[in-house]
Chain A
Amino acid sequence: MQRPVADVVAEAGYDDPPERVGFFTDTSVCIGCKACEVACKEWNALPGDVSGDSWASGAASLSAAPPDALALTGMSYDNTGQLGADSWRHVAFIEQQVPAGHGTALALADDVAESDGTRWLMASDVCKHCTHAACLDVCPTGALVRTEFGTVIVQPDICNGCAYCVSACPFGVIDRREDDGRAWKCTMCYDRLRGGLEPACAKACPTDSIQFGPLDELRAAAAARLDELHEAGEASARLYGEDPDDGIGGAAAFFLLLDEPEVYGLPPDPVVTTRDLAAMWRWAGGAAAMLAAGTVAVFARSRV
Chain B
Amino acid sequence: MNADCIVIAGSNMAECHPVAFQWVTEAKRRGATVIHVDPRFTRTSALASKYVPVRAGSDIVFLGALVNHVLSGGHEFRDYVTAYTNAADMLPDEFTDTEDGGGVFSGYDPHTRTYDNSSWQPTGERDLTLTHPRCVFQVLKRHFARYTPDLVERACGIEPRDFAAIADAVVANSGRERTTAWVYAVGWTQHTTGVQHIRTAAILQLLLGNMGRPGGGILALRGHASIQGSTDIPTLFHLLPGYLPMPAADDADLNGYLTRLPDTGFWGNKRAYMVSLLKAWFGDAATTGNDFCFDRLPRITGEHGTYRTVLDMIDGKVKGYFLMGQNPAVGSAGARLQRLAMANLDWLVVRDLTLIESATFWRDGPEIATGELATEQIATEVFFLPAASHVEKDGTFTNTQRMLQWHHKALDPPGDARSELWFMYHLGKKIRARLAGSGITEDAVLDLTWDYPEVGEHADPDASAVLREINGTGPDGRALDGFAQLAADGSTACGCWIYSGCYGGGENQTARRVPWQQQSWVAPQWGWAWPANRRILYNRASADPAGKPWSEKKAYVWWDAEAGSWTGHDVPDFERSKPPGFSPEPGASGPMALGGSDPFIMMHDGKGALFVPSGLVDGPLPAHYEPAESPVGNAVYKQGASPVSELYPEHKMTRDQLAPGPSEPAGLVYPYVLTTYRLTEHHTAGGMSRTLSRLAELQPEMFCEVSPALAAARGLENGGWATIVSARAAIEARVLVTRRIRPLRLPGEGVIHQVGLPYHWGGNGLVTGDSANDLLPFALDPNVFIQESKVATCDIRPGRRPRGAALDVLVAKYRHSAGLPDLPDNRPGGGVS
Give residues in A with beta carbon < 8 Å to B. Answer: 29, 31-35, 37-38, 41-42, 46-52, 55-56, 59-63, 66, 70-74, 76-77, 79-80, 95, 97, 104-106, 108-109, 111-114, 116, 118-122, 206-208, 228
Contacts and interface: CB of A to CB of B under 8 A. Distances in A.
B25 A29 contact: yes
A34 B680 CA distance: 8
A104 B36 contact: yes
Task: Classify the secondary structure of A's interface with B.
Answer: loop
Nearest to B364: A59
Interface in B341-390: 354-355, 360, 363-364, 366, 369
Contact of B47 (A31, A37, A63, A70): A31
Interface string B688-725: 00011111111111010001110000000011000000
Contact of B15 (A33, A61, A76): A33
Nearest to B747: A109
B742 A114 contact: yes
B744 interface: yes
8 contacts: A62-B768, A63-B369, A63-B803, A74-B718, A113-B707, A120-B45, A122-B43, A122-B46
Given A32-B46, A113-B709, A228-B29, A38 B18 contact: no
Contacts of B45: 104, 118, 120
Interface string B752-767: 0000000000011111
B450 interface: no
B740 A95 contact: yes
A211 to B, nearest CB: 13
Nearest to B731: A62
Interface in B730-744: 734-736, 738-740, 742-744
A120 B768 contact: no
A50 B696 contact: yes
Given A59-B363, A109-B159, 13 more contacts: A29-B29, A29-B47, A34-B681, A41-B694, A48-B695, A56-B355, A63-B803, A70-B767, A74-B734, A79-B699, A80-B697, A106-B52, A109-B745
B360 A59 contact: yes
A114 B739 contact: yes
Nearest to B354: A56
Nearest to A106: B162
A106 B69 CA distance: 22
B695 A49 contact: no
Contact of B693 (A51, A105, A118): A51
A231 B699 CA distance: 37
Q: Which of A32, A35, A97 gathers most chain B CB within 10 Å?
A: A32
Contacts of B694: 37-38, 41-42, 46, 48
A5 B551 CA distance: 54
A70 B701 CA distance: 7
A60 B680 contact: no
Nearest to B732: A62
User: 4 closest pairs, A vs B, by CB?
Assistant: A48-B693, A74-B719, A120-B46, A59-B364
Contacts of B765: 55, 60
B18 A207 contact: yes
Contact of A118 (B703, B740, B769): B740
Interface string B151-164: 00000000100100
B77 interface: no
Given A47-B693, A109-B159, A114-B739, A77 B366 contact: no
Contact of B700 (A41, A42, A50, A62): A50
B333 interface: no
A47 B692 CA distance: 11
B321 to A, nearest CB: 22
B423 interface: no
Of the listed residues A31, A33, A41, A51, the one surrounded by the most CB atoms of chain B closer than 10 A to its CB is A31
